[in-house]
Structure 1
Amino acid sequence: MIELIDNLSQMRGIESQYTDAWGKLATVPESTKAKLLSAMGYPLEDEANLVEAINFEAQTLWQMPIDAVSIHRVNQPLVIDIRIPLLLATKIISWQITTESKQTINGQFEAVDHELIAVAHFDELEYHHYQVTLDTDLAEMGYHQLSFKMADEGLDVTQQLVIAPLSCYKQKPIADGAKVWGPSVQLYCVRSKRNWGIGDFADLQLLLQQLGAKGADFVGLNPIHALYPNNPEACSPYSPSSRRWLNPLYIAVDQVTGFKQKTVQELFQSDEFQTRLHIAKQSEHVNYTTVAELKFSTLKLIFEWFEAKGSKKSHQALDNFIEQGGESLKQLATFDAINVSLAEQGKENWGWPVWPEAFQDYHGDAVQKFVKEQQQQIRFFCYLQWLAQDQLAQCQKAAISSGMKIGIYRDLAVGVSEGSAEIWGNRDLYCVDASVGAPADVLGPQGQSWGLPPMDPEELIEQGFQPFIDLLRANMKDCGALRIDHVMALLRLWWVPKGESAKQGAYVYNPVEQLLALLCLESQRNKCLVIGEDLGTVPDGIQELLAENAVHSYRVFFFETAQDGGFYSPAHYPEQAMATLTTHDMPTLVGYWRCYDLEIGKEIGIYDDEDILKSLYDNRHKDKQRILDSMSGHGALPNWISSNVDECDMNQALNYAMQIHLAKGQSSLLCLQLEDWLQMEKPVNIPGTSDEYANWRRKLSMNLEDMFEQEHINQLFGELTQARQQGYKNT
């Protein structure tokens, strides 16, 4: 059984050994492999059943002449895998390519004239696996159809043939050497005089317009994926319900057509509504429950007015949007409507795993009956997506109009939560008895399990990679760049068996070459730059592979250190990269310098070992001195700031000097945290915590309108633009 598990693990891409964060070789125990194979659907309880399942899987593959999809790069030989009985190897097979542009290319071949890869026997038949090189110089990039026919033998099969470019999209000014800058912001954190206690798309539009006029070329967002309208406190942007759709809490309700109507205004102007709105606006943290109740009650009234009195043109626009959204939009809207219905009945409703069994199958009769009976409720949730998508599109238009080269850059989360609409609508694709995460490292010695079930790589291939393609298209819409969280997922993901410690996981490999090819194709088609968050345990060669495909690296200043502990000069960062000082998972500059993150960690129990905590404080002290040494060596410290860490506290001058120092670096993209412009202390998220800290809730300390009136911040904008153009010379 052990040998069987080892062989099957190898076939399914489960890594037996890996290099950990400390450079040591770690071995994955047999028990972990067995649990992960079980999560993939293999019957590990009985060896005979397991053998039967493996044989059935192999036979099914061999009896399928071609794969569902074949992915190639442009200007490379078109090599196609084909599996046929030996008796057909010497027969003439006709092939035809129908391109996206409806052109056709035809040819013929005999399989025996091409490279034989493998042989297998099933039911007394011998099957041969050939790699056939088609005689064509097809250079049209896109999604084509390739068919093989042998009329006399009943062979008639088709696959999707993808021809992808060699690299992701390169925007010309940036490819030609332009150095650009912009902030990243957690949109929900934004305060403004007009929003309803949570940042929204109207705030984003203001931010883009103001910053575009001041020299910035983008604004980076947290994931704005759809969450759970009926469970608004499930607010982590990295644990969404669907990554293809948007969070309707970001709709600027006061900008929606119909908001000025009488019934809506009666609700909005009521004393109770205004009292709750005032409390939501003034609170230190986003009160998701109150905000959701205020927004959705108002939007429901607007929708009722829209359905009764909206223009024919707007009704047609919504109908078109729903039609284009297809099955995916219908799934999400139905999912949200069922959640509402169950809540009204007092039943558990956080996600499909706790629904009545009849509703757990999206394709089942109970759900289809619900769809027929609740058409208006489902249409309402489609309406919310329509509003959100339109407001986001207006934001990107405003960004480009203000002179920005990129505009919005969006963030794609690595997965969806277990109870999500995305999993509910495609159960076969996800392994719900496992979670993705990260192995133990310096920052997280216990490892991390994020509660996000992974996609099954084999099932993804079987579905022709369509879920991945759809995901890219949706997230490259209405933006100029896309950051892919944990981009190493293209190569491999750390799978943790359900209920196990994150340490008890293993890496599972994905078809990286095919995924990268599709990423390049969609990036080019959508004219969207790609940034890969390549932090953590990075395997050898992956950064080089990403660079070859024009995926921008993600370089965090505090992690860019040499073996002796010194900080690399930003002048030596790769040009094809986004540089940043800190991230949403790290302390702010003020918090870092004053060790507030270590204080909070001690308070909430992350650091319960005094010796470890002392070493962290000691290392922080050394790192701060090394930062000052590096900045002093570049002449980046103002004269009145001491280069001795014991005499140097974090203040506005040092804060901004660090930002200018990084701005002079080589990387083409510079991203700064808006919190650091405001010199805030508390982080927005502490990884590895849930209820211990108010993650994803902390607001900015100042209204946007007031921020743009601060003289020192406006001066910083000018200095950043100048520093980007100037750079470090002769370093």
Structure 2
Amino acid sequence: MEADSERLAFDPPSAALARLADSWDIATGYWSFFGDWVEVPASTLRAVLQAMGVEAQTEPDVEAALAATEAAPWRELLPPSIVVQAGSGEVAVHVADHHDVSLAVALEDGSWRDVGVPDQQPESRMVDDSLVWEVRVALPADLPLGWHTLHAWQRPHGSGEVDREGTCVLVVSPTHLPLPAGRPEYGGRAWGLMAQLYSVRSRRSWGMGDFADLADLAAVAGSERSDFLLINPIHAAEVTSPIEPSPYLPATRRFLAPLYVRPEDIREAAYLAPDDRAQVAAARATVSASNTDPSRIDRDAAWAAKRAALQVIHSAPRSSGRQRSLDAFLERQGPPLADFALWCALEEHYAVTLAAGEERPAEAWDIGSDLVARLRMELAGRVAFHSWLQWIAEEQIAAAQAAAHDAGMRIGLMHDLAVGVHTKGSDAWSMRDMYAPGITVGAPPDMYNQQGQDWSQPPWLPKALEGAGYRPLRDMVRNLVRHAGALRVDHIIGFFRLWWIPAGLGATAGTYVRYDHEAMIGVLALEAHRAGAVVIGEDLGNVEPWVREYLSARGILGTSVLWFENEADGRPMPPEHYRKALLATVNTHDLPPTAGYLAEDHVRLRARLGLLTQPVEEAHADARRERETMLAVLRGRGLIGDDPTEQQIIEALHVYLAAAESVLLGVSLVDAVGERRVQNQPGTDTQYPNWQVPLADSAGEPVLVEDLAANERFVSLAGAVDHALRRVARERGLA
């Protein structure tokens, strides 16, 4: 009876609506996590089309939209953008009847390259009562990598006069990124440390980890033969309280969080007048005591203190050389930085007016409004301050990367790219036309979240990205890899498809929207290639096998987590069966640290928070069974004895993982010091201090950066990994 009711409630799309949705790369059905084929209701398809600017509420609307969609490319001489792999590619040119066309490429370096138009049998179509021909033209195979512009000129037969001209962005990307350069003694492999930067503090911090702590951590890790340091996303968040604690829900993905700036490391701070220096010291004094508090990171307090100090330093005079450096930075970043800094200034401005009882006017949410134009002038001083902060942040992250290389790291910093941005953040405000209105992204139901997930992030509009020549994606990646050796892309399946959720329908009523993965991966690969950076895609979960094969073919590494890699019978997969093009780790930031997992702390925490979907006794039994299965595997390889300590098990797990061929091996800092508390408990919001847990040891005592070099557990685990990688390389004849 219940199944009949669900069947009656389902609103099936018409054939025309389904065809229209498919033409806009909207899935009309999908395979669920549980292996079922799910049909998408018409209400979802209409809502997603509406967000894309396509009217489809009635069948006449659908028919009209379908005709317009099919005719649209035929009305343009060239598409808005093309992304091709080096040595291949073609372009479809739409030419009016009785006309000729010629093409040329304006290369990035200013030179030109002609494009031939071979004889062929073109297709034709009547468009607006006129005959149009589609000619597919092969691009020169020797075009250099880069961002070029394709030009096309249409002329009537027998005439030299151009009656139509078109241009499009032409991106030529590398076919394949090289594998990272590891250590010869490891057989070309490398290992690195993974850390949540905000949690890693020193005695000189301002209540949370910062770029100076990052440089010191890189130096310590490098001295232990670590070749990379993966950190949480350091995208900019809010500049007013409350600051969103999740680094995966930023205000922008293009600019850095000034929250991580160390004020005293700014050159001008060294030349402050005594009174100004006292103000900086007083600001730090308000939060310095919290550096040794193991309970919780307070971003709002840290930013309030830093902002007070940074304003003093910003007011100090700069040398002519420093000013020229700042001016060059501002010119290079251009309008996007000016818009981001304006957003920061507006957030501060309206925080004050809100405190006075005044609401933010609707015009303020429109970057093109007269009000925003006026406030851009009135708040010029604050705009300059926030622009300056980005210059300082870039200087300090560059210094951290230099410290990593100086310490012997072959890769250095590995940044993390979040899936999306906050709905009311800077990117969604300044690039409103690039995002789908009334839509958020998430995930469909699975065994962990039967109601699905809504991540409260607006998705990019695929057509808008194409129309913008993928510059927003380019600029975002370029800024991140400018001072890094690698980039981890969280949920890289989002470059292929995203789960769109129309407002008010709930996560279960969403559907997948496909993106041009050739274009998006091409842009990612080109910018990584230019920076000499490695790219790692987080490809966990429900990912189609062909996606992993495609990424591997493009030289983008995948991700494997020990606890998720199992054979068909449920037993742990031998590491020898892992993929080579991979970053292999024991855990992730969304899992409990191994010490806490072994102690079943995660079960007790989920029980306390009411997150268990089974009796607590069963959950403990399942955890013990999984743990004992893994311990049996470790014993079978002679990696632990009958009664191993927690530290011995953690080291054995990493030695076990070293047997994989995977080119990169990641070691969580929390595992290296014995931390037991999870950084992020999925399924919670305010019930648990997600992304606010300072680094501590197994006894709950804070672990500071200065103490790491002498931390017995840290040094022992690093040594165990080093020894294991050397031994495996020798056994395989690779070293």
TM-score (norm 2): 0.91
AA aligned opposite 2:171: V
2:9 aligned partner = none
For 1:721 and 1:145, locate their aligned partners in 2 and report how far apart those are by CA, in whole Å: 48
- Partners of 1:481 and 1:531 within 8 A in 2: yes
CA contact (8 A) 1:492 1:509 kept: yes
Within a 5 Å distance, the mapping from 1:22-421 to structure 2 comes to 22-76=34-88, 78-88=89-99, 91=100, 93-109=101-117, 113-117=119-123, 119-134=124-139, 136-151=140-155, 152=161, 154-173=163-182, 177-260=187-270, 261=272, 262-270=274-282, 274-279=285-290, 282=293, 284-305=295-316, 309-346=317-354, 355-421=360-426
Mapped partners of 2:355, 2:23: distance in 1 = 43
Give, as a single letter, the amino acid of the residue that structure 2 aligns with 1:23. G
In structure 1, which of residues 626, 641, 646 is the aligned counterpart of residue 643 of structure 2?
641
Contact kept, 8 Å, 2:548 with 2:558, in 1: the verdict is yes
Q: Residues 174 and 47 of structure 1: is their aligned pair in 2 closer, same or farther, counting only changes over 3 Å? A: farther
Give, as a single letter, the amino acid of the residue that structure 1 aligns with 2:492.
V
Asked if the contact 2:181–2:189 (Cα under 8 Å) also holds between the matched residues in 1, the reply is no
Q: Matched residues in 2 for 1:31 and 1:158: separation?
A: 38
Q: How far does the alpha carbon of each residue in 1:177-227 deviate from its partner, in whole angstroms, 9 at most, with x for none?
A: 412111111110112111011100110111111111111111101000011
Amino acid at match of 1:297: A
* SS in structure 2 of the partner of residue 163 of structure 1: strand
| Of 649, 666, 676, the match for 1:671 | 666
Give the distance between the partners of 1:676 and 1:617, measured in 2 at CA: 21
How far did 1:663 drift?
2.6
Aligned to 1:582: 587
- Letter aligned with residue 463 of structure 1: A
| Aligned residue in 2 for 1:19 | 31
Moved over 6 A (4+): none
2:630 is the counterpart of 1:627: yes
On the 8 A contact 1:209/1:398 being kept in 2, the answer is: yes
How far has the Cα of 1:232 moved from its partner? 4.3
Q: For 1:687, which of 677, 682, 699 is the aligned residue?
A: 682
Report the residue type matching 2:695 in the other structure.
L
* Contact 1:94-1:108 at 8 Å conserved across structures: yes
CA shift in 2, pair 1:45/1:18, >3 Å: closer
State the distance in 2 between where 1:361 and 1:169 align.
43
Q: Summarize the Cα distance change of 1:48–1:29 in structure 2 as closer, same or farther, 3 Å threshold.
A: closer
* 8 Å contact kept, 1:244–1:470: yes
SS at match of 2:122: strand
Mapped partners of 1:349, 1:188: distance in 2:
34
Deviation at 1:652, TM superposition (A): 1.5
Contact 2:80 / 2:466 at 8 angstroms: preserved in 1? yes
Q: Is the 8 A contact 1:179 1:725 kept in 2?
A: no
Distance in 1 between residues matched to 2:659 and 2:451, nearest whole Å: 37
Residues of 1 paired with 2:571 and 2:356: CA distance? 53
1:647 corresponding residue in structure 2 = none
- Aligned pairs for 1:486-565 (under 5 A) are 486-565=491-570
Shift in Å, 1:52: 4.0
Supply the AA of the counterpart residue of 1:333. Answer: A
In structure 2, do the counterparts of structure 1 residues 55 and 561 end up closer, same or farther at CA, with 3 Å as the change threshold?
same
Query: Against the structure 1 CA distance between its residues 635 and 189, is the aligned structure 2 distance closer, same or farther, given a 3 Å change threshold?
Result: same
Shift of 1:365: 2.1
| Cα deviation, residue 59, structure 1 | 4.2
> Identical aligned pairs, as a percentage?
28
What SS does the aligned partner of 2:687 have?
coil
After TM superposition, give the deviation of residue 49 of structure 1 in Å.
4.2
More off after superposition, 249-258 vs 694-703:
249-258
Displacement of 1:335 in angstroms is 0.1
- Cα deviation for residue 31 of structure 1 reads 2.4
Q: Which amino acid aligns with 2:85?
A: R
Mapped to 2, the partners of 1:347 and 1:697 lie a distance apart of 26
**Would the aligned equivalents of 1:222 and 1:237 in 2 still touch at CA under 8 Å?**
yes
Letter in 1 for 2:352: E
RMSD (CA atoms): 2.4
TM-score, length of structure 1 as denominator length: 0.92
- For residues 404 and 413 of structure 1, do their structure 2 counterparts lie closer, same or farther at Cα, with a shift above 3 Å needed? same
Number of residue pairs the alignment of both structures matches: 706
What secondary structure, in the 3-state scheme, does the structure 2 residue paired with 1:114 have?
Answer: coil
Question: Which deviates more from structure 2 when the two are superposed, residues 147-156 or residues 395-404?
Answer: 147-156
Please report how far the alpha carbon of residue 173 of structure 1 lies from its aligned counterpart in structure 2 after TM superposition.
4.0
Following TM superposition, by how much is the alpha carbon of 1:464 offset from its aligned partner in structure 2, in angstroms? Answer: 1.1
Other-structure match for 2:652: 657
Paired AA for residue 657 in structure 1: A
* Structure 1 stretches lacking a partner, 5+ long: 643-649
User: Cα 1:129–1:688, aligned 2, differ >3 Å: closer, same or farther?
Assistant: farther
CA contact (8 A) 1:63 1:84 kept: no
Deviation, structure 1 residue 130: 2.7
SS at match of 1:226: coil
**Which amino acid counterpart does residue 142 of structure 1 have in structure 2?**
G
**Equivalents in 2 of 1:31, 1:606: separation in Å?**
32
How far residue 4 of structure 1 moved from its aligned partner, in angstroms, is: 2.9
Q: In structure 1, what is the Cα distance between the partners aligned to 2:390 and 2:230? A: 21
Q: Note closer, same or farther for the CA distance 1:349–1:367 as it changes in structure 2 (3 Å cut).
A: farther
Alpha-carbon distance, 1:108 to partner: 4.8
**Matching residue's letter, 1:620:** A
Q: 1:275 to 1:544 in 2, by over 3 A?
A: closer
